[in-house]
Amino acid sequence: MGKRVAFVTLGCAKNEVDTAHMKEDLLQAGYTVVGSDDAADVVIVNTCSFIQDAVEESIDVILEIAREQAVIDGDTKLVVAGCLPSRYGNALGEELTEADRFVPCAQEDNIVGVLNELFDHEVESIVNGRVVVADGPSAYVKISDGCNRYCSYCTIPFIRGPYHSFSFDQIEGEVGGLIDAGVREIVLIAQDSGLWGLDLVDDGTSPTNLPLLLKRLARLHPDTWFRVMYLQPGGIDDQLLSVMEDHDNICSYLDIPLQHANAQILHSMNRSGDKAYFLERLHRIRQRLTGVALRTTVIVGYPGETEEQFEELCDFIAEAEFDYVGVFPYSPEEGTRAANMPNQVDEDTKMERFQRLRDLADQISASRIKRHVGESMEVLVLGEEEDGQLYGRCQYQAPEVDGVVYVDAGEVGDFVNVTITDTLLYEMEGEVE
């Protein structure tokens, strides 16, 4: 048995994918992956540093692990990976002397080499073929990494680097491996999924844009759901909507992070659009995709945001009637332009605006979700609660950020047809037909 490796993963779905890839590489090289509560020879903390709260959480987790007796005695090594070392570089090592190694995002592909060096040995590969880590019936697949937008408030381009698409062969290989391992839903993610393929060379055989990628995957795997997340408005064109219309296994769900609705605030964010443009785009989507579920994220308390601009955002959310809205109070991040802007909004005002918009969004969401009562829909069974209650998700619910459907029968990994009988805010209840 190889050295035992435990992972603690913080942050977004992209980090979960990166952790899965590191696990696969280590298993392939002969290491043993154990649970985070099990005894391990090394703990790898895959960190997040997108906002200050995430930085603080990452540091707290690292220090908590560093206080464990096995780490103090040197029996367990501590490796800090991901966004935190990517963002802070060499300065991190001067502050977090408890860590044995730092592995930024760009070096995670060499995790085997890092651990081999840490343990002063080279582990022989004991696995034939590609190892695939699947933790359940649903899995994320990254189709690109990095970002070129440089929104004024965002650290991602500094952490992840410039936007680059992964090849179709790489994506299809990962998708096929996950499906062979029992995955029934593939969630495609990127910092901006709509840009996928535009930087790839057209060889005449592989897809070179998101609609063609979805079309190819949906045809190759007709019994698998495909869900795409993180689409900017410009990436939702007629070609994409046509592909979604034509394939029942492409989830009728679009996640469109708009961030605000006031043109001046959006311009200050280094983004485009305004309330009228967004409403027109949403109307067009709903005309083409009947019953589509729409999600967005918005920021309140951005530097210079006036009460009138905030009210415009509230009016937009009320008129747009999104099924789901993520609301975030602005967080000033070191190294971003917005952090140095004048007219920073005080914390009390930010939190008051956050709560007002959160309450409004919850009210709208509850009303929209209640409309599903009496509908028949397909649900992917994902697991069961501690009391044995089965739950899953329908196409109108994305993992982790939306609600679930509680069902009265089925096996984990099955698709079951249910009739929705009741709702409670974001959750639904259904009876298997």
Residue 125, pLDDT score: 41
Q: What distances in angstroms separate CA 115 from CA 59, 103, 118, 193, 391, one per listed residue?
A: 21, 10, 5, 32, 38
Give the span between the Cα atoms of 202 and 185, in whole angstroms.
28
Model pTM?
Answer: 0.86
Residue type, 288: R
Residue type, 59: I
How is residue 39 annotated by DSSP? -
3-state secondary structure of 297: strand
Residue 203, pLDDT score: 86
| CA dihedral for 180, 185, 189, 192, sign (positive or negative) | positive
Q: Which residue has the tokens 């037909």?
A: 433
Residue 124, pLDDT score: 46
Give the span between the Cα atoms of 364 and 319, in whole angstroms.
10
Q: Which residue has the tokens 């609609």?
A: 211
Each of the 433 residues of the chain gets a pLDDT tens digit; together they read 578 999 999 988 888 989 999 998 898 888 999 988 889 999 999 999 888 888 999 999 999 999 999 999 999 999 999 999 998 888 888 888 999 999 999 889 899 999 998 988 644 444 445 567 677 899 999 999 999 889 999 988 888 889 999 999 999 999 999 999 899 999 999 999 999 999 998 888 899 999 999 999 999 999 999 999 999 988 899 999 999 999 999 999 999 999 999 999 999 999 999 999 999 999 999 999 989 999 999 999 999 999 999 999 999 999 999 999 999 999 999 889 999 999 999 999 999 999 999 999 999 999 999 999 999 999 999 999 989 899 999 999 999 899 999 999 999 999 999 999 999 999 999 999 8
Give the span between the Cα atoms of 384 and 387, in whole angstroms.
8
Residue 123, pLDDT score: 45
Give the span between the Cα atoms of 48 and 33, in whole angstroms.
21
**Distant-in-sequence, close-in-space partners of 33: CB < 8 Å, separation ≥ 6:** 4, 5, 6, 7, 23, 26, 27, 133
Neighbouring-strand partners of residue 300:
329
3-state secondary structure of 296: strand
Residue 30, pLDDT score: 87
- Cα 114 to chain center, whole Å? 26
**Residue 226 is encoded by which pair of tokens?**
């495909």
Give the span between the Cα atoms of 61 and 144, in whole angstroms.
28
Residue 131, pLDDT score: 65
Residue 409, pLDDT score: 94
